[in-house]
Structure 1
């Protein structure tokens, strides 16, 4: 039995704080006094790494390290902390519910002795071990490097606070890295300082809503993130996977009004580490979503506020899991990351976390220079102005806020407008050059200087797809009391995609979808858009040296970074054309919508793409061969740079899955498909076009490309991923090439060309296991 007098004996010296639990601190020991009404309740446990050592890779304060749902339960004289799993479910009234419960037994994270009993039969336990010892469910050991052991002598609770809905704990955890006497030198630099290192952990335990939000069923025609469960209680004679979209809870103050302020708006707090000059742009990125939420029926639904100082609110913490935060991370890598914490029962977003790595500003600057300098004279001198960089920051914040609102990437959005519209100033002003800010579509690199696109319209913004998708996900359906009752209305809304192409969505799993391109603009016609993009890259090449002239006394590192970004853009645009080959068009559809979901790209369009690549990707990009630039950034790597980029494009073009798709298109489409034999022949004739000339001269750049071609064909022939029929055709290409080389050898214009062709014959023979005649002329006696 527990001594009823022990309460005063144990806690007489305690510093206590009332809230959802009463927390007591006695010296270094932490006690939780848990009201009976909170036992068995679901709490969301959120752990963050609040502070890290200097040498930890990607180290920054506020990094989310894990979330889970937990319950506190009393078991005799013990208090149990258990994890609650919501992966399977059934209506509690159904007989199968007992079996579901038996298959979903909650694991025990930690057990504590009940030290005493508080008011109204509330158990009291010493929970210090939970924060200062290695608990697998909360461990960050793998996230901070080679650390092996947590040292409880150097680990302690820094602070603990209780609020009406949550408990916040900060603890210093010190990890040891025992030296290995058998290893004289570490094979890799440690992520954490050697011997030991400390992190400050922040643990938030937030009570999940007593009245869960009404969930909204997921629909793969609309791009929302989701949480899922397997429901064993449905009546359709099968196990049903039910998914609910993730979204903030927005409820109207005036339910009968078409437009109403929400009971509780969405608030993002900008942390105090954010440089003052960027704060207005971060706010703009958040509040740019107001019109989208108005389309869903909510006014004044989203705000950005600066976090209060310790003097203004000593109880406020940026790591409190109830707060949606925008953190500024002083790191050398990374860009920007958006995360959100959800109620697994319903998908309700409890809070969001957006992390801006300061390094992203340099990346944005280089990206804008390469994609927009031909249309914006402000971009031709570095560094860019704060106003311009701020506009870019506004854009990427808006993208991450979209994720926290629940939206997934929509890579289809850049192909949903007619390609010519991205050059139309009136269209772009009204619709943007991309239908969604959730695409990886950056600046309008397709528009030409003569098009007159205003500079403020070169950067993506929240678009028509975003407003439509937010309406689909957030608009109330008051006459539908359950998620299943909403189905008919949601289906009607989703079918609006049939009439409005820029409402369509597909996600990144649709490999081969020709309109689902990353980093694209105007890819409804990727050939024409890339042709225009190359014209702009030629202009950009002329801006490289003038852009850094104002950096007198500095190294050429920035020039190298700009050149590499330019060539990266070249490769990306070529990749958009590559994806036409063996590609297909798609539209997400459900039963009852007319037409098929997948349609192969036409033979003519695929052949046009290969011809374009032969002309532009596999010939030497003259604009990139500028000695006045290349000899400033390296002594001898011009050939290697071009070879690397061209090889990458060729590797994409000869990808095994692409070859296999083309075989299937041929099998199903007959004469309507772009035949794999025609494709391989077109590529070979383009890359080896010199062999058909009267005098055969092959320069160093083309020799590199041709070697890469031969290497890749040999790789594909030996790959288990390539279908047998495709392997036979690849072998046939090598045989055909060998025949061409034999005919071309007597026409060699120089020794280097002749030796190159002889070497290619040797490699073909090794690959095909053929014997060929010596090419040396025979002499007669």
Structure 2
């Protein structure tokens, strides 16, 4: 029904193709040249497009039947000498859809626009074609013709010996000037639906020379695309955006197709599947596990991949996703070929993992997936587990090498399953952890059944809420959560009664409506909106439905860990080094609690699924909860330095005062940052019980200045007071310099009034107390008056 924009040249070329091919077939010179070219080729390989190589020159032999067909061209790194911007196996750009066309002398490579669609029977399609001419990326002279299969031969050495910006793994540009002498085509292989080309490339830049091998794939797409499924904000899937033009409406209709694999029953099993029987899919998803991964972790990685089998079994497909080792002694297997989906090991110092996929842009069908698993992610998994659970779990204490392989294996399994979720098309679901009441995470029975969040796709790690004495032993995320099962059903379950994506909508929407009363099925994207407003229920690394309460539990555990950090990290000769790394890990985890609670200040919940639990799309954080959040932050700031910089720690790590003060000042500055004050004002205009900016600033001042002289004399308190005053003064100056555009007049009046209030306090305190205290408050006067 719909078509993508076609090049006018391509249309004309296809109309006249039959005549032109006849003319070419009679050209005996081109036919004879084909025999000469093939006979002199070092290597030739037959496929849907055949390839020929001679002295590093590369020719493609493209049959006339492929002209006008939809193809993908993609690129990944095969080998590289420097991992500064890319690693082996990485693909940083989606492949692009292209088509070939030809005339008597040339073959043309067209880049296709896959975003805009139109009914070819619509009257305005004539205008659409006139205004949608496709660009020609490259033109190639036809150097020979194979009369036997009616194919044109073109040399593509220059194209593949240079970067193709649209699919370059280096972000569209090289990291330096290419070295022609170091650039050559290494290999080219042809198959029934793909061509694989590897090119060695050398570059010289300002910093260093580097070498890489780029692996390019040319893929033939199915003539009939998979039936798409329309995307929605209520479920977290990556999607492929589309725009549709129609004479039926004056606007441009925007929508998107879900990115998902083609999981469907074999024709002979459809009836059984409809009847609720388990069947194997026509084409299962296979992930090959890198043979360079240490053997002791392979079992856990494979388990993480196949954990998703349960979700597919729930919709009637068994063995829908399978993990296999890289084939040994099989020369036909190439990990970087388009046909292979791989779980790849990356030996760099980076602590990361990522799940990727290539799609058919016409339908959103995932054709190939990858997981990049970086070496140091295992260290990061250990540090998270220690910093979040060491207070309640003796088994995680010590060095990573001291921890039982089964515990580390569970963490690797979790990370593997999470990244496979991305390869299956799922986005992060930051609201999955919000589905659980905070105190339920202190329950041994609840956590054993549900883990820490309703989805493995949340950025919710281990249970930092459970307290010593709670007897919680299940401290990690679930293998798969309630939301994960539903999201697989929503995207992958066939709806046999629907003939097209529009007919599926009623069923899909009903599935969501049926589950709207249970927060375990809610989805939430990455936090942050245009005006800087934050949703406290969409916090990365948070747990539970009350971030303030959860943060209090987390901070209590952090203090226990810090008190015992020397004993729990110093079991071998690397103890001092491990102590420093784990101190930083615990401190980073503790700092997350400030970030979580800060989101309540001027925060606003937004729910795309309206239900009894959440009857309004937007709901502001209550005044009470905002004041509670500020209370937690200030109480922690005023007391934390009794335990973050103890004598036991400084004896082994040196002075921590400078680092601690810097962190302290940054947190005070955050409280009065532009983004916090803007969203607090916005929030106050939407509720009957507002927490206004003037009251908020007054509360901060009371915490900082309405204290005893004994506290005023500490370096920590004076540091925070100075940072607070500097921050307020800076806001006034910036707003004045910007012509009053940063804040409205009401907010500026509140900031000025608060500075005046602090100034009056400083005037009084500068007249009494010891010399050090007087000097301090005179400095505050100087800042305000200066």
> Alpha carbons of 1:678 and 1:425: their partners in 2 closer, same or farther (altered >3 Å)?
same
1:520 aligns with 542
Which of 520, 526, 531 does residue 552 from structure 2 map onto?
A: 531
What residue number does 1:668 align with?
686
Structure 1 residue 157 corresponds to structure 2 residue 175: no
Alignment correspondent of 2:356: 339
The Cα of 1:666 is off from its aligned counterpart by 2.4
Residues 1:375 and 2:397 are matched in the alignment: no
**Partner SS state of residue 241, structure 1:** strand
Distance 2:653 2:470 in 1: 34
Residue of structure 2 equivalent to 1:62: 89
Q: Distance in 1 between matches of 2:399 and 2:509?
A: 50
Structure 2 match to 1:705: 720
**Tell me, what secondary structure is at the counterpart of 1:90?**
strand
Give 2:14's aligned residue. none
1:96-133 per-residue CA deviation (whole Å, 9 max, x = no partner) reads 22333333332222221111111232111122222223
Contact 1:223–1:505 (CA under 8 A) maintained in structure 2: yes
Moved more, 597-606 or 693-702: 693-702
**TM-score using structure 1 length:** 0.91
Alignment of 1:241-640 (within 5 A): 241-253=254-266, 254-256=269-271, 257=273, 258=276, 259-309=278-328, 311=329, 313-383=330-400, 384-455=403-474, 457-511=475-529, 512-522=534-544, 524-552=545-573, 554=574, 556-589=576-609, 595-634=615-654, 636=655, 638-640=656-658
Following the alignment from structure 1 to structure 2, what is the Cα–Cα distance between the partners of residues 40 and 150? 35
1:207 correspondence with 2:220: yes
Contiguous gaps of at least 5 residues in structure 2: 1-23, 736-740
Q: Is the 8 A contact 1:582 1:658 kept in 2?
A: yes
Selected match of 2:666 from 627, 632, 648: 648
1:575-601 per-residue CA deviation (whole Å, 9 max, x = no partner) reads 211111211222114799993201111
SS at match of 2:213: strand
The alignment partner of 1:296 has SS state of: coil
Distance in structure 2 (CA, Å) of the matches to 1:733 and 1:335: 44
1-side partners of 2:417 and 2:129: how far apart?
42
Cα distance change of structure 1 residues 496 and 650 upon mapping to structure 2, 3 Å threshold: farther
CA distance in 2, matches of 1:74, 1:144: 29
Aligned partners of 2:744 and 2:429: how far apart in 1? Answer: 31
**CA–CA separation in structure 1 for the residues paired with 2:235 and 2:170:** 38
- Residues 91 and 685 (structure 1), Cα distance of their counterparts in 2 relative to 1, 3 Å cut: same
User: Are the structure 2 counterparts of residues 531 and 555 from structure 1 closer, same or farther at C-alpha, using a change threshold of 3 Å?
Assistant: closer
Deviation at 1:85, TM superposition (A): 1.5
Matches within 5 A, 1:139-218: 139=168, 146-151=175-180, 153-177=181-205, 190=207, 193=208, 196-218=209-231
How is 1:230-245 mapped onto 2 (pairs within 5 angstroms)? 230-233=243-246, 235-245=248-258
Structure 1 residue 144: Cα displacement: 8.4
Task: Measure, in 2, the Cα distance between the counterparts of 1:297 and 1:287.
Answer: 16
- Structure 1 residue 496: deviation in Å? 3.1
Structure 1 stretch displaced more, 212-221 or 425-434? 425-434
Aligned to 2:48: 20
**Aligned partner of 2:158 among 103, 116, 129:** 129
Say whether the 8 Å CA contact 1:442–1:460 is kept in structure 2. no
Residue 731 in structure 1 maps to residue 752 in structure 2: yes
Partner residue, 2:19: none
Cα displacement (A) at 1:175: 2.0
Contact 1:58/1:333 (<8 A) preserved: no
1:90 aligns with 2:118: yes
Aligned ranges 1:42-81 → 2 under 5 Å = 42-53=70-81, 55-57=82-84, 59-66=86-93, 67-81=95-109
Q: Which residue of 2 aligns with 1:774?
A: none
2:235 to 212, 215, 222: 222
Tell me how far apart the structure 2 counterparts of residues 106 and 445 of structure 1 sit (CA, whole Å).
55
Q: Would you say how many aligned residue pairs link Structure 1 and Structure 2?
A: 738
The answer for the alignment partner of 2:9 in structure 1 is none
C-alpha distance in structure 1 between counterparts of 2:711 and 2:234, whole Å: 54
- Once residues 518 and 281 of structure 2 are traced to their aligned partners in structure 1, the CA distance between those partners, rounded to angstroms, is 29
Look up the match of 2:144.
116
Aligned-residue offset at 1:563? 0.7
Deviation at 1:701, TM superposition (A): 1.1
Contact 1:545/1:629, CA 8 A, preserved across alignment: yes
Spell out, residue by residue over 1:355-414, the C-alpha distance to the aligned partner (whole angstroms, 9 max, x if none).
011011111111111111122211111123332222111111111111111111111111
Q: Distance in 1 between matches of 2:242 and 2:747?
A: 41
Aligned residue for 1:5, secondary structure, equals helix
Deviation of 1:347 after TM superposition, in Å, equals 0.7
CA displacement 1:463-514 (0-9 Å, x = unmatched) = 1111111111111111111001111111111223421111111211544111
Q: Give the aligned partner of residue 11 of structure 1.
A: 38
Distance 1:167 1:225, change over 3 A: same
Kept in 2, the 8 Å contact 1:657–1:722? The answer is: no
Alpha-carbon contact 1:48-1:65 (below 8 Å) kept: yes
Mapped contact 1:447–1:532 kept (Cα < 8 A)? yes
- Note if contact 1:229-1:242 (Cα within 8 Å) is conserved in structure 2: yes
Aligned pairs for 1:676-687 (under 5 A) are 676-687=693-704
| 1:423 shift after superposition | 1.2
Please list every run of 5 or more consecutive structure 1 residues that lacks an aligned counterpart in the other structure: 178-185, 767-781
Q: Deviations over 1:161-218 (max 9, x none)?
A: 11111001111112234xxxxxxxx6xxx2xx3xx43211111111112221111101
State the shift of 1:88 in Å: 0.9
Correspondent of 2:60 among 32, 35, 38: 32
Confirm or deny: 8 A CA contact 1:421 1:433 kept in the other structure.
no
